[in-house]
Structure 1
Amino acid sequence: MSSSSTSSSALLLLSFSLLLQIAIGASPLFHICSTSETFTAASTYASNLNKLIGSLTFRAPFTGFGAASVGFKHDRANGIALCRGDANATTCKTCVAEAGGEIRQRCAQQKQAIIWYDNCLLKYSNTDFFRKIDEQNKFYMWNLRNVSHPASFNRKVKDLLVELAEKAHVERRMYAAGDSQLGGSKKLYGLVQCTRDLSSIDCKKCLDGAIDELPSCCNGKEGGRVVGGSCNIRYEIYPFVSSA
């Protein structure tokens, strides 16, 4: 899948969208369409892709993750759908269904594409990407507000996310969320998650890499995310994970 060489203007827009997503919630966070290979609406790949998206929409809500392949050789469509660890089955199904329809419109002729929502991601390709860390498809989001003491805050963010990564990579769902004290009554909240086609070792590697990238995007910011095709991390100074 093609590399996400996101421009600085796009990253600035994403920082604003971090705030907007709190209110909107249903719009895509970001998407990437590969330009390397295309297909036509009447092709075998188009038919296989439609079947694949239908399969992922059906499978993902049961456990929060689905992986499937439809077709053979160059017409084979491979895909995954991952729902956020705190999303219930209804939210998961709605998100994956919407993602499937939206990505087909935005990447109408591309054989490889990925789309992220707040509650799910959907990715497909004509190549076998299962069990491999996606190093190419990635973007950042951050809160526009800065903290008063960035150095100490950054250390607490890293400590929390490292702790969550240690839990997630050995957990069946490869997901962990939690919080830590910032001082007084204030708390820091975090979430980490991997796609479940990865091994435990690769999940940890992916999360560690994402945590190491935080200074590049989110140094001293009140909230931030590193979002990829195989794993994602997020922290905020407000609770954002459902307790239900």
Structure 2
Amino acid sequence: MRRLKKKMLRSLQPHSTDNIFIFALRLYSLFFIFSSLNSHGRLVDSHIFIYAGCSQEKYQPNSAFEGSLNSLLASVVSSAPQTSYNSFAMGNGSSTSTEGAVYGLYQCRGDLKTTDCSRCIESAVSQISLVCPYSYGAGLQLEGCYVRYEHVDFLGRLDTSLMYKKCSKSVSNDVEFYRRRDDVLADLQTATGFRVSSSGLVQGFAQCLGDLSSGDCSACLAEAVGKLKNLCGSASASDVFLSQCYARYWASGYYDFSSDSSSNQDQVGKTVAIIVGVLAGLAIVVVLLSFLRRALG
């Protein structure tokens, strides 16, 4: 009787071997994720966080707005493999309450491949709710893509608010550099969507959101270029992101002023991948030893 009771108690408790095996599988899944990110440098770059903005107003869990927002974000993820830009409006029908209305869009950088665009959007959508929990409005910019939603309709309405800027070290008394930079910025200012420009060693690109008209896009880029010059002055590289467009330029290589942080991020990713791989290997060894011990009785 006592032996039977012990067997029953043992069957009700979670098996340590099963727990270790599940733990090992999770470690291996993490290992493959880090491996894929580090074997595709472009994928790592497109996922670099730039900025996020969140509204102060918060919605209640299980509200009509949360239901509409979940539908919108699901539509964003499902649309990204087909097109690099799309906009949505949910819960704004005449037969429904305006409390559930939500408007949103996403856009990928113009030179991103479809697969990289889709992965970038998935990453942005997974982060936006974590960075801006229960917010009625939020925008999140990664290196390769952008996602935004609001409770009120903002689509197609020009907004040149400054969201983010970054300036590198200054270039002093380099007349040739300033001439080349101004040529690039003048060319970028004529963009109607995504545009890449170069002059000598100076390169740059600019992009407007897809909901802007060509006239509003030109006005937004003119504002962005003006801020690049006024806020960053003689910087050898700089970024300016407004609400509906951005412009960037750099000299002597691709993003000199951020290359250190990018390489550090890649190095951290490789280190984590190595650690995860070692832990996963140890977990598998423990599983095998546990099975052997049970088999030998």
Q: Which range, TM-score by smaller chain?
A: 0.7 to 0.9
Q: Give 2:227's aligned residue.
A: 213
Partner Cα distance (1:61, 1:192) in 2: 23
Partner Cα distance (2:124, 2:182) in 1: 31
Opposite residue 81 of structure 1, the aligned amino acid is Y
The normalised TM-score by structure 2 is 0.65
SS of the counterpart of 1:62?
Answer: coil
Give the superposition deviation at 1:159: 2.3
Q: Give 1:68's aligned residue.
A: 88
What does residue range 29-108 of structure 1 map to in structure 2 within 5 Å? Answer: 29-35=50-56, 37-72=57-92, 73-108=98-133
Pairing partner for 1:156 from 180, 197, 204: 180
Contact 2:208 2:245 survives alignment (8 Å): yes
Q: Give 1:178's aligned residue.
A: 197
Give the superposition deviation at 1:124: 0.5
SS of the counterpart of 2:124?
Answer: helix
- Alignment pair present for 1:202 and 2:227: no
Give the superposition deviation at 1:71: 0.8
Opposite residue 113 of structure 1, the aligned amino acid is A
Which structure has the greater CA radius of gyration?
A: 2
Q: Give 2:161's aligned residue.
A: 136
Contact 1:141 1:217 survives alignment (8 Å): no
SS of the counterpart of 1:220?
Answer: coil
Give the superposition deviation at 1:38: 1.4
Greater fraction helix: 2
SS of the counterpart of 1:110?
Answer: coil
Across the two proteins, how many residue pairs are aligned to each other?
Answer: 208
- Alignment pair present for 1:117 and 2:117: no
Partner Cα distance (1:88, 1:101) in 2: 20
SS of the counterpart of 1:86?
Answer: coil
Q: Are residues 68 and 137 of structure 1, via their aligned partners in 2, closer, same or farther at CA, if it must alter by over 3 Å?
A: farther
Contact 1:82 1:120 survives alignment (8 Å): yes
Contact 1:226 1:232 survives alignment (8 Å): yes
Partner Cα distance (2:44, 2:147) in 1: 19
Partner Cα distance (2:91, 2:174) in 1: 51
Contact 2:72 2:88 survives alignment (8 Å): yes
Q: Give 1:11's aligned residue.
A: none
Contact 2:187 2:197 survives alignment (8 Å): no
The normalised TM-score by structure 1 is 0.79
Structure 1 gaps, min length 5: 1-21, 182-186
Contact 2:240 2:247 survives alignment (8 Å): yes
Post-superposition Cα deviations, 1:137-185, rounded to whole Å, max 9, x if no partner, equal 5110122x3223356534432321221232x22xxxx11102111xxxx
Q: Give 1:9's aligned residue.
A: none
Structure 2 gaps, min length 5: 1-41, 93-97, 256-297
Q: Are residues 39 and 216 of structure 1, via their aligned partners in 2, closer, same or farther at CA, if it must alter by over 3 Å?
A: same
SS of the counterpart of 2:225?
Answer: helix
Greater fraction strand: 1
- Identity percentage of aligned residues: 27
